[in-house]
Copies of this chain bind each other. A is one copy, B any other.
C-alpha cells in the first residue's frame, strides 16, 4: 500500500492516523503542495489523482482518492480495530462528525482556497485570516456543542476507542492551532485532543513526524 501525502495536508493526516490505528505500514510518497507551483497539479500526479489533491492511496493496483472514502475502505478491508460503531444510528453520528469537519470547515480553509482569496480576489492577509478563523471557529464550536451534549462521547468522540471522527478532528485542531484559533471555550475538543495525542498512532501521524516535514 502506498500513500501520496504532504506533511501539512489535513486530509493526508487523517489517513495517516487511520493507517497507524490499523497497524498498516504503507509506503509514504511525498507530494509537495507548494514547490514548483505544486507537485499535485503536475501531469504525472494528475494521472493518479485527476483532482490534483492529496491524499491518494494505492492498493490492489487502484488509486483511491478522498480521505474519508479511503478511511472507510481501510475500515472495510482491515476491520480491526473498527473505526465506525457497530450500529447504523451511531455510525451515522460518527460519520456526521467527520463530514462536519471535512465538508464544512476544511474545504473553506485549505491552501488552494486561501490562495484564491489573496490572489484572484486580492483579499488582504488580515481578511484572509479572519475568513479562516470565521469558518474554523463556527465549525468547531458546533462540534463542541454536539459533543458536550452527547452521552456517546467518552475518552474519544465515540466512546473509549478512536473512530473516523477523531481521525478528522485531530488534523483540524492542529490546523486551527497553527492559525492561532482560540480553543479555550472548547473543553471537550481539547480533552479529546489530549487523549488522542497520547496515543502513538496519532502522535506518529503528526506533520512534524513525517519524512517530508520542513
Complex Cα–Cα for A113 and B135 (A): 9
| Contact assessment for B51 and A104 in the assembled complex, using a CB-CB cutoff below 8 Å | yes
Indicate how many identical chains form the complex. Answer: 2
A residues 114-160 touching B (CB-CB < 8 Å): 116-117, 120-121, 123, 127, 130-131, 134, 139, 142, 145-146
A residues lining the B interface (CB < 8 Å): 50-53, 59-60, 62, 64-66, 68-70, 72-73, 76-77, 88-89, 91-93, 95-96, 99-100, 102-104, 106-108, 113, 116-117, 120-121, 123, 127, 130-131, 134, 139, 142, 145-146
Tell me, rounded to whole Å, the shortest Cβ–Cβ distance linking A192 to chain B.
17
| Contact assessment for A66 and B51 in the assembled complex, using a CB-CB cutoff below 8 Å | no
Residue A107 contacts which of B104, B117, B120 (CB distance < 8 angstroms)?
B104
Given the known inter-chain contacts A103-B102, A120-B130, please indicate yes or no for A69 contacting B95, CB distance below 8 A: yes
CB neighbours of A117 from chain B (8 A): 121
Residue A108 contacts which of B102, B108, B130 (CB distance < 8 angstroms)?
B108
Given the known inter-chain contacts A69-B99, A103-B103, A131-B121, please indicate yes or no for A64 contacting B92, CB distance below 8 A: yes
CB neighbours of A62 from chain B (8 A): 89, 93
Q: Which residue of B lies closest to A102 (CB)?
A: B103
Residue A96 contacts which of B69, B103, B127, B139 (CB distance < 8 angstroms)?
B69
Q: Which residue of B lies closest to A141 (CB)?
A: B50
Sample (26) of A-B pairs whose CB atoms are under 8 Å apart? A50-B142, A50-B145, A50-B146, A51-B100, A51-B104, A51-B142, A60-B89, A64-B96, A65-B96, A66-B96, A66-B100, A69-B95, A69-B99, A70-B96, A72-B91, A72-B92, A72-B95, A76-B88, A102-B103, A103-B103, A104-B107, A107-B108, A108-B108, A120-B130, A121-B127, A121-B131
